[in-house]
Amino acid sequence: MLALAASIERYLRMRDMRIRLHTVNLNTVLQEVLKKLQPSLLDRDVRITADPLPTVQADARALFLILDEYLANAVKFTKQREQARIHVVVQEQDGEYFIGVQDNGAGFNMRQKDKLFQLFGRLHSSQTFEGTGVGLMTVSRCCQRFGARAWAEGKVDQGATFWFAWPKVPRVLD
């Protein structure tokens, strides 16, 4: 119940956040997220790597929220792997950057991908993987506020990649 309340509070804070666009180095944001994740990596063999990330126009808090959710999920869904491998990838496209968090974790059936970013859209049992089913919906809504988008690709027992496309010229929407 406490986790659900915290997830809903995070969503409401994001929804009501006053956005300030400025130049943000995603490498710096990633380092802050990794510091926050350190306690969940203790006593595990988790290797997190990253491509060099771009500097974008954004609100650093929004990018922190997105990367924090994606990386925390990657850590969570690799917990059954003896050696967890997580990689942050970037692909530059015309007008936007595709940024993805790849893992070698539980993965998911692509036929259920639309459920992932819905409220309480869980694909795995809560006995196997803790969570509230609110985090990815929060990411999706956060992306929408900047004219960005979020999606995922995966294969059962082969891992997943969670993406967001960040516009080179974001437009703040409410």
Summarize pLDDT for 1-23 with one digit per residue, the tens: 455 455 556 555 655 667 789 99
Residue 174: inside a domain, yes or no?
no
Q: What is the pTM of this model?
A: 0.84
User: Residue 6's domain spans which residues?
Assistant: 2-167
How much is the average pLDDT of 39-59? Answer: 96
In one-letter notation, the amino acid at residue 123 is L
Rounded-to-integer distance, Cα 151 and Cα 165, Å: 9
Residue 172: inside a domain, yes or no?
no
Which of 56, 16, 14 lies closest to 170, judged by CA? 56
In this structure, what CATH number is given to the domain that contains residue 143? 3.30.565.10
Number of domains in the chain: 1
How much is the average pLDDT of 44-54? Answer: 97
How much is the average pLDDT of 48-58? Answer: 97
How much is the average pLDDT of 64-89? Answer: 94
In one-letter notation, the amino acid at residue 113 is K
**pLDDT (0 to 100) of residue 2:** 55
How much is the average pLDDT of 36-45? Answer: 94
Q: Helix, strand, coil: what percent of the chain each, to 5?
A: 40, 25, 35
Residue 12: inside a domain, yes or no?
yes
148 pLDDT above the threshold of 80? yes
What whole-number percentage of the chain has pLDDT above 70? 79
Residue 173: inside a domain, yes or no?
no
Residue 136: inside a domain, yes or no?
yes
Rounded-to-integer distance, Cα 50 and Cα 69, Å: 16
Residue 127: inside a domain, yes or no?
yes
Summarize pLDDT for 77-135 with one digit per residue, the tens: 898 899 999 999 999 999 999 999 999 998 887 887 777 776 545 554 555 546 555 68
DSSP annotation of 125 reads: -
Contact by Cβ (8 Å): 61, 130? no
Helices (H) and strands (E) in the chain, counts: 5, 7
Q: For 52-83, give the secondary structure using H, E and C.
A: CCCEEEECHHHHHHHHHHHHHHHHHHCCCCCC
Residue 76: inside a domain, yes or no?
yes
**pLDDT (0 to 100) of residue 171:** 81
**pLDDT (0 to 100) of residue 128:** 58
**pLDDT (0 to 100) of residue 9:** 63
Contact by Cβ (8 Å): 7, 138? yes
Higher pLDDT pick, 109 / 43: 43
Residue 88: inside a domain, yes or no?
yes
Average confidence score pLDDT of the chain: 85
